Structure 1
Amino acid sequence: MTIRTLPPPGPPRRLVAAQLSNSVGDGAYYVCSALYFTRVVGLSPAQIGLGLTVAWAVGSVAGVPLGALADRRGPRGTSAALAVATAASVFAFLLIRSFWAFMIAVVVYATAQCGLAASRQALLAGLVPPEQRTGVLAHLQSVLNGGLALGAALGGLALGADTERAYLAVFVLDGAGFLVCAAVLLRLPAVAPVTGRAAGEPRLAVLRDRPYALVTLLNAILLLRMPLLSLAIPLWIVERTHAPGWLVSALFVLNTAAVMLFQVRVARPVTDLDSARRAVRVSGLVMAVSCAVFALSALPGPAWAAAALLVVGAVLQADGEMRQSAGSWQIGFSLAPPDRMGQYQGFFATGVPVARTAGPLVLTWLLLGWGIPGWLLLGAILLAASYGMGPAVRRAGPVRQEAGQAGQAGPAGAVGQPG
């Protein structure tokens, strides 16, 4: 069966082009940034960790007002401006040589990234019909993984050279990618901004929306899977199993390839809230089984048996990840009022920086500290959150549907002509 890697021509394909343009540079940046900041800038690992933690904490808070700015000023121009701001922060990394300069640059970087994610979601919502949004996001995720993989390979060349010039080239590539992203976004049709608020309506209405906050919290818990592949599983393989160390890289490649090839197919049945709830519920079951399989890899036995269990666990994890992603995309869009899409997407996306900052601490304590019982507890937590998503969505649904009907009557979702 042929797997389509690109959506139909028009705005969806340009959104994919914008995603690809910055994901290649990001892949190289992720591979090389830690060594660049330690060997070239001269920072300690503790300083880098502190800076990143503070930056993503600030970014998670800033995503909501920046998303609201996209609603008021229009998501196309806001997205392009935040892409340029991200490029500027990356180029600033070329010049910094102190911890405080690094702190300022990385806070700008994380803030612009979180705002860019929210405003691009609002732009997608304004350009793509509701029934097609999850499918387009699946294409974006597939292309993102492909771009990150290509960028990681380029970053590997820089690591092999291990020179300041090679690292600087990676940062130039990443910054240039965001400039290209901004140019592509500006070629999309304009989405009309929100013209005003109703009397007595708060500026950031999402902060008072308790049903949506509950859905966002459950999604953040499910996103604890994010640091598994990059941190927890590599440490688990090295410290708790007899599997060979090279399996760390193999599992990363397996996950990346699976998302590239199958994310669109997995997301295809998710078209409404009912199918989204089912996808999230099944993802919780799959992730719970995956955690149990990972736990078994620490039992006494030959190295090949541990490696086989780790591969099976990684396949299940990839399947659960793709189902959870598809379901959460549909839920995040369907429950957001059309005239406040930016701020709602900014709030819903806070689960990502939360998982990036709190996830490593929680997972290393739970899995490396508790061992097999920790894996089983993690599986139970993910399963409970996935099953709790259904009632939470049903509770929020009627309120959001009324808001959506009111918002569709106004001009907020109108699409203008290409700029």
Structure 2
Amino acid sequence: MHTLTRVHLISAVGDGAFLVTVALYFTRIAGMPATSFGLGMSLAWAAGFLAGMPLGHLADRIGPRRVAILLAAGTATSVALLPLAHDRWAFLVVIGAYGICQSGLTVARQALLVRLVAAEDRTRVRARLQARINGGLAVGALIGALALAIDTPPAYAAALGLDATAFGVAALLLSRLPEKTAEQPVPATGLVPAVLRDRPYAVLALLNAVMLLHMPLLTLVLPLWIAQATGAPRWMAATILAVNTISVMLFQVRVARRVGDVPSAARAVRAAGLVMPAACALFAGTAHLGARWLVCAVLVLAALLQVFAEMLQSAGSWEISFGLAPDGQHGAYQGLYQSGVPLARILGPAALTGLILEGGTVGWLILGTLIAAAGLLTTPATRWARRQRRESPRRSVQP
């Protein structure tokens, strides 16, 4: 597990540097119109959304270690090629390859974790990995911020080079995992993944995608909300992001201890759905407060509630995705379940900026209600999935 932890940590450092610098590199240094860059990123995550389940199915057939190595190397190659993508079409091809490799790598690493870790320990191990990921993202973001402060082409190129190097090192580390542990024989699953016929699991994946609408909040919606609708200083956006990152580093493992099986996971997701509307209500209220110190205090309180809901939802969703997937098909099942991540990246920014920045308080309350509904519906959906497996235990593993 030490090797897998290092893979996640190193990759996260690269991701942090990439996420902070890539937009400004292409719009300021490469001179690409912001609309073209935004379209390219949306298409990249759309490609990742479509590729996630096929790549997960491939991981079931040839082993998640092999697929993870290929996709980590593919991520490194695509990032290394980005500074050479000078025209729009070259950019679309390279950033599309990046989106596919990133989405598939997430799925392959989840399937690899299933092979390496006993069932009862998977959620706790995943929580520890998430804490390391947040730490790596913070370090990478600081490196990216340094590149932004220098604001020269070599500085941006160095940040992108760091990301490419990080994923190259990750591919090398993955290749050192023991073959006999990482790639145990699995039953043949045919050309069409059985998950496509698993309606309860598909419903749970959809509900998880709705819960993941919180993803664009901290990096996109809240900075704009703070600047446009509140009297708080703009640096509060960075403060809230720091609150989120540090909280996950310190408490994600502790929160995950509450989750030990699918029923407790469903309860955790339901609790997340009940906490998130309270956070949304507090965020909405900051537009109606006068004193700057009070606005800042309420923003921090709302951020604490939001990250608590995020940690509950994460722990619950990991256990649900692991616990309801049949043996030998975790790649395809993770591919479907994790598709909510690129979907949130595609739809979330446009949907939430319109809903909240234009709708104000009503928009915040709609978002909270939507997430609450998804959290509450997760409990009957997991019961449906468990009942189907008891009634037809072999249905989900037939080719």
Q: TM-score, normalised by structure 1?
A: 0.91
One-letter amino acid of the structure 1 residue matched with residue 290 of structure 2: G
Report the Cα distance in structure 1 between the residues aligned to 2:13 and 2:115, rounded to whole angstroms: 26
Give the structure 1 partner of residue 65 of structure 2: 76
Alignment of 1:2-21 (within 5 A): 12-21=1-10
What's the secondary structure of 1:132's corresponding residue?
helix
Number of the residue aligned with 1:395: 384
Does the 8 Å contact 1:242/1:303 carry over to 2?
A: yes
Partner of 1:123: 112
Matched, 1:37 2:26: yes
Report the counterpart of residue 183 of structure 2 in structure 1: 191
Partner of 1:155: 144
Q: SS of the counterpart of 2:288?
A: coil
In the TM superposition, 1:9-408 aligns within 5 A as 12-189=1-178, 190-197=182-189, 203-400=192-389
Partners of 2:10 and 2:389 in 1: CA distance: 34
Asked if the contact 2:187–2:328 (Cα under 8 Å) also holds between the matched residues in 1, the reply is: no
Alignment partner of 1:67: what SS? Answer: helix
Q: Which amino acid aligns with 1:71?
A: D
For residues 374 and 30 of structure 2, the distance between their equivalents in structure 1, rounded to whole angstroms, comes to 41
Cα separation, partners in 2 of 1:40 and 1:401, compared to 1, 3 Å: farther
Structure 2 SS opposite 1:93? helix
Shift of 1:40: 2.7
C-alpha distance in structure 1 between counterparts of 2:173 and 2:384, whole Å: 39
Structure 1 distance, partners of 2:85, 2:29, is 10
Q: Distance in 1 between matches of 2:257 and 2:393?
A: 24
Counterpart residue identity of residue 281, structure 1: R
Q: Cα offset for 1:360?
A: 0.9
SS at 1:94's partner residue?
Answer: helix
Which whole-Å CA distance do the structure 1 matches of 2:114 and 2:69 have between them? 16
* 8 Å Cα contact 1:158-1:167 kept in structure 2: yes
CA, structure 1 residues 404+94, in 2 after alignment: closer, same or farther (shift >3 Å)?
Answer: farther
* Contact 2:107–2:338 (CA under 8 A) maintained in structure 1: yes
* Matched AA of 1:194: V
**Displacement after TM superposition at 1:41 (Å):** 2.3
CA distance in 2, matches of 1:374, 1:171: 36
- Cα distance in 1 for partners of 2:156, 2:115 equals 38
Whichever residue aligns with residue 188 of structure 2, its letter is: G
Aligned pairs, how many?
A: 395
Distance 1:21 1:125 in 2: 20
* Contact preservation (8 Å) 1:73, 1:193: no
Task: In structure 1, list runs of 5 or more residues that go unmatched.
Answer: 1-11, 411-419
Aligned match of 1:8: none
CA 1:343–1:349 in 2, change beyond 3 Å: closer, same or farther? same
Cα distance in 2 for residues equivalent to 1:193 and 1:118: 19
Q: Which moved more, 1:311-320 or 1:361-370?
A: 361-370
Do 1:72 and 1:193's aligned partners in 2 also have CA atoms closer than 8 Å?
A: no
Cα deviation, residue 402, structure 1: 6.9
Give 1:13 shift. 2.2
**C-alpha distance in structure 2 between counterparts of 1:92 and 1:403, whole Å:** 48
CA distance in 1, matches of 2:277, 2:5: 32
Name the structure with the higher helix share: 2
How large is the RMSD of aligned CA atoms in angstroms? 1.7
Q: Please list the CA deviations of residues 219-240 of structure 1 after superposition, one character each: whole Å capped at 9, or x if unmatched.
A: 0000000011111111111111
Distance in 2 of aligned mates of 1:399 and 1:202: 23
Asked if structure 2 preserves the Cα contact closer than 8 Å seen for 1:127 and 1:191, the reply is no
CA distance in 2: counterparts of 1:292 and 1:69, whole angstroms = 43
Distance, in Å, in 1 between the alignment partners of 2:100 and 2:206 is 20
- Counterpart of 1:89 in structure 2: which amino acid? S
**1:399 to partner: Cα distance:** 2.9
Q: Do the aligned residues in 2 keep the contact of 1:338 with 1:404 (CA within 8 Å)?
A: no
* Maintained 8 Å contact 2:107/2:334: yes
- CA separation of 1:401 and 1:162: change in aligned 2, threshold 3 A: farther
Instruction: Go from structure 1 to structure 2 and tell me whether the alpha carbon gap of 1:402 and 1:24 turns closer, same or farther (over 3 Å shift).
Output: farther
Question: Which runs of 5 or more residues in structure 2 are unaligned?
Answer: none
| Kept after mapping to 1: 8 A contact 2:194/2:396 | no
Q: Deviations 1:35-92 (Å, cap 9, x if unpaired)?
A: 1112332211000110011111111110111001110001111111110011110111
The 1:365/1:226 distance shift into structure 2, 3 A limit, reads same
Q: Give the secondary structure class of the aligned counterpart of 1:344.
A: helix
Q: Distance in 2 between the 1:255 and 1:402 partners?
A: 42
Q: Tell me the alpha carbon deviations over residues 170-222 of structure 1, each in whole angstroms, 9 at most, x when there is no partner.
A: 1111111111111111222332243423xxx6622212211111000000000
Deviation at 1:404, TM superposition (A): 6.8
TM-score by length of 2: 0.96
Work out the CA distance in 1 between the residues paired with 2:30 and 2:306: 36
- Would the aligned equivalents of 2:247 and 2:307 in 1 still touch at CA under 8 Å? yes
Contact 1:41 1:96 in 2 (8 A): no
The AA in structure 2 aligned to 1:297 is T
What secondary structure does 2:19 align onto? helix
